[in-house]
Amino acid sequence: MEVGDWEGPALRRVDLWAADQWMTCDDNLAYVKQFRRAVGDTAVRLRSGDGSPLPFAGLSAAATHQRLVAGAGDEAKDDELRRQFRVFDRWGATTDNVLAFLFRDGDHLVITLQFWREEHLLKHPEHVGTVFAVEIRAAPLAGILEELVAVLDHREGLPVIS
């Protein structure tokens, strides 16, 4: 993560990467008040042990991601299952260009993400249908998110947080 300059009284540049992908490539201006709250809530959820393991036996995280996206035909059940695993969905416009899921096994997390916007996929045809995955432990990720929350209101830019 990298926090940059303020772009007016309420917006700040925030660049996010996961699985070696620049997630905020389509919009990296965060409305700080809402973004801080959402990132902080995610950190609290991670610290509390929130999250569920992969729901389909024998499928990889990427295959599970694809199955969640495709659904099983029962729209209500499919939507509920997707909501159970969604991550970054409350972070605002900075991350609404990716569909991301989080799977948890104890302190071990797997985050999958897939770019979905047509404009992005036209510029990056190699991303069409590609699911990116990253594995990380919950505590270090929660710490990174807490650090991000702590610096968002400062008037100075911040180097990359890793």
Q: What is the pLDDT of residue 106?
A: 93
Q: Which residues contact 30 (CB under 8 A, 6 or more apart)?
A: 11, 12, 13, 14, 91, 92, 93, 94, 152
DSSP 8-state symbol, 110:
E
Q: Which of 86, 79, 139, 130 is closest to 109 using CA atoms?
A: 139
pTM of the model: 0.90
Instruction: Enumerate the β-bridge partners of residue 98.
Output: 115
Query: Each residue of 123-146: pLDDT tens digit?
Result: 999 999 999 999 999 999 999 999
DSSP 8-state symbol, 86:
B
> CA-to-CA distance for 129 and 68, rounded, in angstroms?
13
C-alpha 39: how far from its chain's center?
10
Query: Each residue of 100-117: pLDDT tens digit?
Result: 999 999 999 999 999 999
Mean per-residue pLDDT for 7-26?
Answer: 94
Tokens for 144, please give them: 């990174």
* Alpha-carbon distances, residue 93 vs 6, 67, 138 (angstroms): 16, 25, 24
Q: What is the pLDDT of residue 162?
A: 52
Query: Each residue of 61-92: pLDDT tens digit?
Result: 999 999 999 998 999 999 999 999 999 999 99
> CA-to-CA distance for 100 and 82, rounded, in angstroms?
10
